[in-house]
Amino acid sequence: MTGHRNHLFSAGEGSWRAAMIDKRLHPDAQHRLLFTDTLYEDADAYRFLIEGAAHVLDRQLNWSIRAEDFPDYRVPEDTPIEEYRGNPEWRAFLADLRARAMDAMPELVWIVEGRDPWEVFRDRSFIGNSGVDPCSEALKRLALAKWRSANCHREGELFGPPDVFTVGIGEHEAHRFYGDHKGIGILRANAADGWIYEAPLIALNEALLRGEHVADDVLRLMLAPLSDFGLERARLYLLAYLHNNCGGFCCKAGQAHWANRFRVQPERYAYDAMMERKLIAYLGSDVAMLTDRRGGDKKPMSLDAFADRLLAEPGRQFEFAPGESGCGCMGVAA
Ligand code: SF4
């Protein structure tokens, strides 16, 4: 006997498919969708989150949400970084959306730490990079861990059956679930604390490799286009982003990701570069999200510097496979 089946629901396609498959395989369990909001998601990611949640939970909403309805998430350039709290109109819109969505779908648990990645960088006096992600730690992992401790049961607890958590990681990222030479992985890291984690997409793939029979409708949930289910893909995927997190922004992403953003969303790139520039000035040190490895040495490279390089060598913008170094951030408390 288990407690709730909790699906880490990131507004990404993988977590939607994983939740759908798990619900299909465990129709009598109590399912919850856990979304950790960085307050910096793309407007269309929120749209997909709500429509996707309604689909998983088999709920008809009597209202709809469109990306065009959202206010601007940006603040004026002259906003002092010390006073930065996001765009108030954007934050108020999200608070209202959150309340309406959770009212209509109480099984959608919308977890908000209250800051966005820029605020975390400022408050920690550290700009995230490919190796260290204070934003993900504060806004996703710790926020989820806090909620989980208050609302869930581990294995071996006296007061209730253990909860199960699922992640939307696919076979191509199985190392993040099982671990590799770089890290212990989500499964074992959480098991060490008594938390049960499963990865339905990986499990399904493994069953297929073993030659086991998989029902057609389950296979369809894994492979069929979203349009078959009446869902529209989140727009960032159509712009060659590999993930739908943080509005396509990511401190962990590499040059391929940023070259793609520079090409397909130059205004958003310029805004990120402006915010990074303000933070670098505020911190007063030689730090940046990207790393320049030219010449053999590793040194920080700001988005401004990377943009200059792309402009000086226009062909470079197309050297990278789109989204080649997308973000691996997930709302997992590992
Ligand atoms: S997607 Fe990137 S920027 Fe956003 S929280 Fe995750 S690591 Fe941080």
Q: Which of 37, 120, 135 to mutate to test the pocket of ligand 1 (most atoms within 8 A of CB)?
A: 135
Express each pLDDT in 277-314 by its tens digit: 999 999 999 999 999 998 888 999 999 999 999 999 87
| Ligand 1 pocket check for 246: Cβ under 6 Å | yes
Q: What percent of the chain has pLDDT over 70?
A: 94
CB 46 within 8 A of CB 65: yes
The tokens for 240 are 């060659």
- Antiparallel, parallel or unpaired: β 108-112 and 164-166: unpaired
| Ligand 1 pocket check for 327: Cβ under 6 Å | yes
pLDDT of residue 17 exceeding 70:
yes
Express each pLDDT in 89-138 by its tens digit: 999 999 999 999 999 999 999 999 999 999 999 999 999 999 999 999 99
pLDDT value for 324: 45
Counting from 1 in the atom list of ligand 1, the atom nearest the Cα of 134 is 8
Q: Show the domains of the chain with their CATH numbers.
A: 5-234 (3.40.50), 247-318 (no CATH)
pLDDT value for 321: 60
pLDDT value for 63: 93
CB 236 within 8 A of CB 244: yes
- Cα dist from 209 to 14, 171, 191, 202, 206, whole Å: 20, 11, 25, 11, 5
pLDDT value for 325: 42
Question: What confidence tier does 2 reach under pLDDT thresholds 50, 70, 90?
Answer: confident
Q: Which of 141, 329, 332 to mutate to test the pocket of ligand 1 (most atoms within 8 A of CB)?
A: 329
Question: What confidence tier does 1 reach under pLDDT thresholds 50, 70, 90?
Answer: low
| Ligand 1 pocket check for 127: Cβ under 6 Å | no
Backbone Cα Rg of the chain: 20
| Ligand 1 pocket check for 6: Cβ under 6 Å | no
Q: What amino acid occupies position 312?
A: A
Q: How many CB atoms lie within 10 A of CB 129?
A: 18
pLDDT of residue 254 exceeding 50:
yes
pLDDT of residue 331 exceeding 50:
no
List, as one string, the DSSP characters of 213-260.
---HHHHHHHHS-GGGGT-PPPHHHHTT-S--SGGG--TT--HHHHHH
Q: Which residue has the higher pLDDT, 299 or 328?
A: 299
- Antiparallel, parallel or unpaired: β 108-112 and 290-292: unpaired
Give the distance (Å) from ligand 1 centre to CA of residue 135.
6
| Ligand 1 pocket check for 18: Cβ under 6 Å | no
| Ligand 1 pocket check for 134: Cβ under 6 Å | no
| Ligand 1 pocket check for 117: Cβ under 6 Å | yes
| Ligand 1 pocket check for 250: Cβ under 6 Å | yes
Q: Tokens 């975390």 appear where?
A: 120
| Ligand 1 pocket check for 330: Cβ under 6 Å | no
Q: Which of 140, 257, 258 to mutate to test the pocket of ligand 1 (most atoms within 8 A of CB)?
A: 140
Q: Which of 127, 129, 136, 261 to mutate to test the pocket of ligand 1 (most atoms within 8 A of CB)?
A: 136
| Ligand 1 pocket check for 332: Cβ under 6 Å | no
* Residue in 19, 246, 52, 12 with CA at minimum distance from that of residue 140: 246
Tell me the pLDDT of the chain averaged across its residues: 93
Question: What confidence tier does 320 reach under pLDDT thresholds 50, 70, 90?
Answer: low
| Ligand 1 pocket check for 10: Cβ under 6 Å | no
pLDDT value for 195: 97
The tokens for 189 are 């890291």
* Residue in 85, 88, 65, 145 with CA at minimum distance from that of residue 111: 145
| Ligand 1 pocket check for 133: Cβ under 6 Å | yes
Counting from 1 in the atom list of ligand 1, the atom nearest the Cα of 251 is 3
pLDDT of residue 65 exceeding 60:
yes
CB 199 within 8 A of CB 210: no
47/65 Cα distance (integer angstroms)? 6
pLDDT of residue 191 exceeding 80:
yes
The conformation of residue 34, written as its DSSP 8-state character, comes to E
Least confident among 178-182, 300-304, 326-330: 326-330
Ligand 1 atom 4, closest CA: 246
303/261 Cα distance (integer angstroms)? 11
Q: Tokens 């010390």 appear where?
A: 82
- The count of C-alpha atoms lying within 13 angstroms of the C-alpha of 101, restricted to the half-sphere facing its C-beta, is 26
pLDDT value for 242: 86
pLDDT value for 317: 63
Q: Which of 41, 244, 249, 252 to mutate to test the pocket of ligand 1 (most atoms within 8 A of CB)?
A: 252
